[in-house]
Structure 1
Amino acid sequence: MASGTPRVFVSHLAGVPVFDPNGDQVGRVRDLVAMLRLGNRPPRLVGLVVEVVSRRRIFVPMTRVTGVESGQVITTGVVNMRRFEQRATETLVLGELLDRRVRLVEGGEEVTVLDVGIIQLPARRDWEIDKVFVRRGKGGALRRRGEALTVDWSAVTGFSLEEHGQGAANLLATFEQLRPADLANVLHHLSAKRRVEVASALDDDRLADILEELPEDDRVEIMGKLKEERAADVLEAMDPDDAADLLSELPERHKDRLLALMQPQEAAGVLRLMSYEERTAGGLMTTDPIVLRPDATVAHALARVRNSDLSPALAAQVYVTRPPDETPTGKFLGTVHFQRLLRDPPFTLVGSIVDKDLQPLRPETPLTEVTSYLATYNLVAAAVVDESGSLLGAVTVDDVLDHLLPEDWRETEFHGPAGIENLSGGSR
């Protein structure tokens, strides 16, 4: 940013693309790194945390930033691809400053930080935080509750104090458009304290989606910090197979208490999944595929497929059973693939177009055979049926991949591929 350009509020930088001098995208801004200074001196902004294509997070010094304009950041020179590690003297602006409760120097009133403004110093590449956008709490008779105002950094105090119970609304607002896997990446890189605070601020459905994408240690940590009633609600919002996997990672006593707090029907489905060996079709399957009776029409089937909460793999086909049309009691008749639904008239009954040629999987089928089955028949999902012919659930390719990849693949993805080292001279 050239000297004299107006300040930028950091919430506007979250997720913006970062380009090199040739116009090639390096990644996206996920946070900013600042160093707090003694007294009321404005913090110095030392760099950006940029997430590159591999989801590795790297550090880009502010001395390499030549422009912040039109929703993009321009850098100069080759960036260092070494994974970002936060130092003890550094503060993450989005992750740690937003939602903090601080006090106005004049009057000592407590306020909440909504945003902070950064500006480039004249004739230099140095940047600093100069403004703080805050919201008042309860005020005097002449002040409206929730009044927001922008003040100089020197007009507030308390940023260096440790805070317990810090909110997360404004941090989440900066990342509300992220996919669950990307927001999980944000949580993974926060401190343990902030990770739990942010998780607590999410609604049950959003947190459930994110827990499915987090490494095991993070999931167990978050579940251990939630109130048990809330944890049980989140488990109910998760896909049954993911809930079963998460419960299996928890201590036995904690697992039993959570199952007791869940709705009986939800708990029964999860317990049924936990009864199967992990690396079998039964242990991999979900108990919530699209199940229809044979007298359902193609139009009804397509309406079910359109459900935005379904994964692409589950939406790829419907499973036809005799009444009752639910797992695990419906007699399995066959599968109707999405492409077949598109080819037939809307009034066609699904019972007349089922694919009966493919033999369904048995719950004891090992992972290697499940993988071969999906690959042989070019499928993204397959029915799982018991000895009596009742539909138990469906195995999807994403769950198969989860178990084919190394156990620490989520951590590897978050950290970036091992072996990528410094691609440019110098270091932080």
Structure 2
Amino acid sequence: MKSYTEEEAHHGGRRPRVFVSHLAGVPVFDPNGDQVGRVRDLVAMLRVGGRPPRLLGLVVEVLSRRRIFLPMTRVTGIESGQVITTGVVNMRRFEQRPTERLVLGEFLDRRVRLVETGEEVTVLDVSVQQLPARRDWEIDKYFVRKGKGGALRRKGETLTVEWSAVSGFSLQEDGQGAESLVATFERLRPTDVANALHHLSPKRRAEVAAALDDDRLADVLEELPEDDQVEIIGKLQEERAADVLEAMDPDDAADLLSELPEEDKERLLTLMRPDDAADVRRLMSYEERTAGGLMTTEPIILRPDATVADALARVRQADLSPALAAQVYVCRSPDETPTGKYLGTVHFQRLLRDPPYALVSSIVDSDLVPLAPDTPLSAVTSYLAAYNLVSAPVVDESGSLLGAVTVDDVLDHLLPEDWRETDFHSEEGVAGGR
């Protein structure tokens, strides 16, 4: 049988490979070393065109025996018989969606055919591999046994083959199912998916939105016109809607909730995790066209004793926008908004010029006066332009960092209201009807 993990060279780097049978029952720990639960299955999404399935996350059984979904974006390590998470776990019960497949429950012991010979084989194991320089994972190989299966299968020859070497799993290109369209959307940026989604019928738009995973739908919603956002979030089950709002940037979630009736808004905020809901409520307390109303509450924050190496590790996180990754903010403990005492900013270029062991406190830029939360949009725009910034800190009267305003949020409010409805990026065809 294969080892727990393997590595292979890829474009000059090393990529970990994990055989999924060895993940069953593996303990899951948070960064503090406390056990969250155990892995019971893996969740994958099939794609069209023979492309390997994307691994969405893990089904984890927590101590209360509830099974929850842990996205792969919140998995920081799979090694030595354990899974390490970021510590942020959604405790809502896992519910399988139409486009999702359980790897242990639906892939193993399945009969498939070798493409080259047409011979039927039994899947004994499946390996997953992390893509280079990304946090995404894909299923890439089968471990199969030739023969008729059943009690006699142990006598057949075993071999490891590429995903593309077998048939029996990939989605078919024909048909109009949401699965096929969602798989096609996998190739597009969120902005392009939003543009395609906008031009579907309301019924079709709801079907596709329901089939997207939470993180993907959150990214797409952030790029849609407000009317489409409200329509889609209103057609989701309330717990699912709360999950998607949690996955959105807090400022975008606040903007969306502001468009809902008061009772719907309060009900969704109650269903969200308390920390996420608190951030959104705080943003909704500011006037829309001010620094406080524009800012995100999740910039990169470091303590004065953090090193340049620590800062670069945070900047490299794949889920950060380029604007937020352009600088880090140094605060005295606690190192989070809205209570951390702001000391200054360290820009990305400065991080590249100094040695990894240097403390961020020694290179911090404290001369730039931060924005107040009530700074109007026109003044925020002038500030970013005058100092050639893509992001700026927002600090209250007591000196606490509240968040950061990014240039993309400013542009959203400077462009015409209907700019998202313009077909400016539709060269790639999208398979989907009205």
State the TM-score bracket (shorter-chain normalisation): 0.5 to 0.7
Tell me which residue corresponds to 1:170: 180
1:288 maps to which residue?
Answer: 298
> Which residue, 323, 333, 342 being the options, matches 1:323?
333
Counterpart pick for 2:190 among 174, 180, 191:
180
The match for 2:226 is 216
RMSD (Å) for aligned C-alpha atoms: 2.8
Question: Pick from 320, 343, 347: which aligns with 1:310?
Answer: 320
SS of the residue corresponding to residue 222 of structure 1 reads helix
Structure 1 stretch displaced more, 299-308 or 251-260 = 251-260
5+ residue gaps, structure 2: 1-47, 50-98, 100-166, 427-434
Q: Any conservation in 2 of the 1:292–1:321 contact (CA below 8 Å)? A: yes
3-state secondary structure, aligned to 1:336: strand
Q: 1:344 aligns with which of 354, 360, 373?
A: 354
In the TM superposition, residue 191 of structure 1 has moved relative to its aligned partner by: 1.1
- Counterpart selection for 1:238 from 245, 248, 251: 248
Aligned length: 267
In structure 1, which of residues 378, 396, 401 is the aligned counterpart of residue 406 of structure 2?
A: 396
Aligned to 1:261: 271
Shift of 1:412: 2.8
| CA apart distance, 1:170 | 1.4
User: Residue 378 of structure 1 corresponds to which residue in structure 2?
Assistant: 388
Q: Who is 1:72 aligned against?
A: none
Residues 412, 301 of structure 1: alpha-carbon distance in 2 compared, 3 angstrom cutoff: same
Cα shift at 1:407: 1.2
Is 1:200–2:210 an aligned residue pair? yes
Question: More relative contact order in 1 or in 2 (CA 8 Å, sep 6+)?
Answer: 1
Query: Can you list the C-alpha shifts for 1:386-418, whole angstroms capped at 9, x where unaligned?
Result: 0000000000000000000111111134699xx
Q: How much has 1:175 moved relative to structure 2? A: 2.4
Matched, 1:272 2:282: yes
Please, which runs of 5 or more residues in structure 1 have no aligned partner?
Answer: 1-10, 13-98, 100-145, 154-158, 160-165, 417-428
* Secondary structure in structure 2 of the residue aligned to 1:259: helix
Give the match's secondary structure for 1:270. Answer: helix
Query: CA deviation digits over 1:322-373, x for unaligned, max 9?
Result: 0000000000000000000000000000011100110000000000000000
Tell me the TM-score normalised to structure 1 length. 0.59
Alignment partners' CA distance in 2, 1:406 and 1:175: 27
- For residues 366 and 279 of structure 1, the distance between their equivalents in structure 2, rounded to whole angstroms, comes to 6
Sequence identity percentage: 79
Indicate the structure (1 or 2) with the bigger Cα radius of gyration: 1
TM-score, L = length of structure 2? 0.58
Query: Take 1:315 and 1:330, find their aligned partners in 2: how far apart are those partners?
Result: 19
Q: Give the superposition deviation at 1:148.
A: 8.5
Alpha-carbon distance in 2 for matches of 1:279, 1:409: 18
Q: Distance in 1 between matches of 2:277 and 2:195?
A: 29
Alignment of 1:7-22 (within 5 A): none
Instruction: Tell me, in whole angstroms, the C-alpha distance in 2 between the residues paired with 1:182 and 1:358.
Output: 37
Distance, in Å, in 2 between the alignment partners of 1:273 and 1:150 is 42
Contact 1:297–1:346 under 8 Å retained in 2: yes
